[in-house]
Amino acid sequence: MRIGPYELPNIAFVAPMAGVTDRPYRKLCRALGAGYAVSEMAASNPRLWASEKTMRRLDHSGEQAPVAVQLAGSDPAMLTEAARFNVARGAQIIDINMGCPAKKVCNVACGSALLRDPRLVVRILEAVVGAVDVPVTLKFRTGWDPSHRNAVEVARLAEANGVAALTLHGRTRACGFGGTAEYETIRAVKQAVTIPVVANGDIDSPQKAREVLEVTGADAIMVGRAAQGRPWIFREITHYLATGEVLPPPLTADVRELLLAHLDDHYAFYGASTGVRTARKHIIWYLGQLVDGRAFCDEMNTLDDCSAQSRAVDRFLRRHAERHERLAYAPVLH
């Protein structure tokens, strides 16, 4: 699949997730097989650009091309300025967020709230596409609520205004992350446009990735929540799509090395004070479902030092490896 001039190495992409897909995590996912990664959502308001949080989100040092930056906002002029600002800082693709369902985003008419106003959608896309010389893509949802699905209309407007590719999460804004993704709408969008369409929503296994590709006809798939604590899912998906073979769970010893390296990169990126706190959610995603993982995570959450946190993870995974050559998950109790 191509986005503008960029030929992507495979069709398994990692979704932009605020507070999750920071630079260390994006680089890890790319190293483990993700063909494409988009930054966390960055604000278009220039008053926020100098904030530590935004500056960190716009740090793409050492990332594999193409560098893609996702912008959120509702003002065409601000989004235009933000797009130019990010391209000047190295962004090679600009992605416009019209899919975030969070109330704090929708309450200021950003994210998926924009789907209620197709005329504003056109003004934004027309302005941003015309302002930069890099591809502009759009991530959106199927509509505002189940009674107001307008994904096909928005997709056609996007294509007509020069958008290079679409990513569609198969839910409306009102659905949040509940229920199941509506792949029939993604299929309808794919049939309505000629630009690439990426399917997003509920893709949690290699088998589901292939099913979604077959049902929707999409050009690629994007994995979000299922990649949290499981960045090797991209390697599993690409292998399965190529061979039909399901890879076994990774070796515990390999996960130990991977997670410790991820933590080192995370601490270096955020600094000790923020790093030890923001690393906790990643550790829980990696280890919380393993045998004895929940008790370990409860104990780990009391640690407030990066070295102590890393050593605790090391000890836990060494013990786990002594009993389980490969990752062993706790049984699900019903």
Catalytic residue among 100, 106, 110, 175: 100
Total number of residues shown for the chain: 334
Please say if 100 is a catalytic residue.
yes
Instruction: Please say whether the beta carbons of 19 and 57 come within 8 A.
Output: no
DSSP state of 89: T
Instruction: Please say whether the beta carbons of 28 and 231 come within 8 A.
Output: yes
Half-sphere exposure in the Cβ direction for 58 (13 Å, CA): 24
Q: What is the secondary structure of 95-116 as a DSSP string? A: EEEE----HHHHTTT-GGGGGG
Q: What CA–CA distance (Å, rounded) separates 32 from 10?
A: 12
With residue 236 as reference, give the H or E element that holds it.
helix 233-243
Instruction: Please say whether the beta carbons of 109 and 137 come within 8 A.
Output: no
Q: What CA–CA distance (Å, rounded) separates 233 from 308?
A: 28
Six token digits for residue 197: 């369409």
Q: What CA–CA distance (Å, rounded) separates 96 from 42?
A: 10
With residue 285 as reference, give the H or E element that holds it.
helix 272-287
Q: What's the angle, vertex CA 185, arms to CA 179 and CA 186, rounded to 5?
A: 100
Cα 136 to the chain's mean position, in Å?
17
For 167, phi and psi rounded to 5 degrees? -120, 125
Instruction: Please say whether the beta carbons of 151 and 143 come within 8 A.
Output: yes
DSSP state of 209: H
Residues 6 or more apart whose CB falls under 8 angstroms from that of 73 comprise 43, 44, 45, 79, 82, 110, 124
Catalytic residues: 100
